[in-house]
Amino acid sequence: MMHYPGKSLSLARTIEQGLGDNETMRRFISNTFEDYPRFLYDDVLSQAAISETQMLDFIRFGWTPWARYRKIPDKEASAIYQVLKPKLFQKLRVLLGR
C-alpha cells in the first residue's frame, strides 16, 4: 500500500468517505498501521478531513507507536494516556448510541 502512487491520498479519501466513521474501524486502521505511524499520522490522516474526536481515537488506539514516533518521554506519555483513556461514561455512551 505504501508503495502505490497516491497511496496516502486514496486511503485518506476512503477514511473521509466513511471508513473512519466507526470507532471499531478507527481501531482496526490504527492497529493495521501500528508499525508505520509516520505513514498513518503524517501521510494519511493529515490529508483526511476528519473531526478532532476521530483524530483522538486514532491516536488513542495507536497510542504506543504514536508516542514513540513523536518521541514523547515515557513518564509524560503515561500521564497523557491516562487522560485520553476512555472512561466508563464514555464507553456507555458509545454502547448506547449517544
Task: Give yes or no for residue 4 having a pLDDT over 70.
Answer: no
| CA pair distance 98, 95, nearest whole angstrom | 8
Question: pLDDT tens-digit profile of 52-80?
Answer: 989 988 999 999 999 999 999 999 999 99
Task: Give yes or no for residue 1 having a pLDDT over 90.
Answer: no
The pTM for the full model equals 0.78
| CA pair distance 73, 8, nearest whole angstrom | 28
Question: pLDDT tens-digit profile of 78-96?
Answer: 999 888 887 766 666 677 7
Task: Give yes or no for residue 48 having a pLDDT over 60.
Answer: yes
Contacts of 37 (CB under 8 A, 6+ apart): 62, 65, 66, 68, 69
